[in-house]
Structure 1
């Protein structure tokens, strides 16, 4: 009896690679090439050639290090608060209270508001003749009001920017976490309740581990966008509260120096990529390392 012939493997069709071509072109055109061009521009000397003159000018600028400090402060304060609020709102919505549909749309509305519009809204509240000082005057707490946005009060300037950013951008984290919670079966949480787990134990050992992919995405997006927070702080404080992204605008548009502006932009890019790598490593699922178990 003749042995059965083995099917010939033949040549693999190139379809999977062809499908990758559009996304590859998109990444190269809209990310890789601008990033390379920005790196080259940041080290171009005004007289020709390449060097570190632009980096030295950037670091010597009196607004640069305050901008670094303010940007890091904003991220360290805003990101944890946003995640605490977003997780709380998402869990409340998952419990299906009355008017849950209204709550969802009310909490998601700031997502449709532009950065500048949000800054102007909160400017009307924190301005010297704004709604907050008017309320304090009407309650008899303060006759002359308080200069919340004065350069003499950096703490209240930071507070105003933090509150405005919380109102404007928490909805983004909220939407991502709601999507993540919607695919987690409720049976896991119910089983934990049957075995006597408290709310905190269920949140720590059941909900948050299953929500890790959504938290990872939200953290990366929100941190990158926090580095780009410009319009809100600009509308509220102007140059009294400098941020890194605002320094790129100042160098490029006001001082007409694209080389130093590119150097500041490269700092933002480097820190953003480093932060994203830390998030990806810290929130990596156990066992996803490529090693045999």
Structure 2
């Protein structure tokens, strides 16, 4: 083979290769992996007596097989998405497995992290599988705003078979998530081949900074649930009089205070000093009652404005 033929071969391979992904052009990927890290931390919290944190360390593109070569000796899971018709890989490096065992079994991390080049035990593999099950559910939630898809755990590999991820030169997105507790920890890695992202590439390229309607539905739901459960006190105000301290000091037991209100006067319902509604006084089964007549019309009062917006959001 002459020099001209040899130089033409790499060029032909580059032409046939898939175009590379650019993480910068897919801003929703960053949001997805941030949600994945947050959900994994919440999912692992019940198992850990110590505070456990997860955060994204890096997101990059690389050839899948080259990326997996760097994690030789790790434990990984193959997750299948029926909606995307693709498989992704989630793994834990050895340091992460040994650190999780130390934390979950009540260690104090005073000893150096265990590190030995040996096969994983049955217990260590089972702990890793629990983490992968949490990650699968977290991915389902993280991809929710983009596509409604589930990730089914197919199998756990201690000796990773790369062929399931496609051709040797296939590109993919590789995210590294650090899992830490008590100053020890390790790395979770997520490998998503490019063919899995191609069908939703347009949705992933959405720019959140210019999309005013973009929001986290899970956060909205939690925020609304928290607001609705807040306990507040409401006060019915029949009438108000301005008096001097001298007049008030002259009050005695049996003193009668005249009110300008009549039976037809509307009663104002207040909460935390904010007027909410005008009400009509009534009676029922031996108790005084209030019938809401109309909302207090005051745009400057934040609570009343909030209730109006909440009602509009509920209708939408």
Which category describes the TM-score, using the shorter chain as reference length? Answer: under 0.3
Identify the structure with bigger relative contact order (alpha carbons < 8 Å, sequence gap 6+): 1
**Greater strand percent: which structure?**
2
- Larger Rg, first or second structure (1 or 2): 2
**Greater helix percent: which structure?**
1
TM-score by length of 1: 0.22
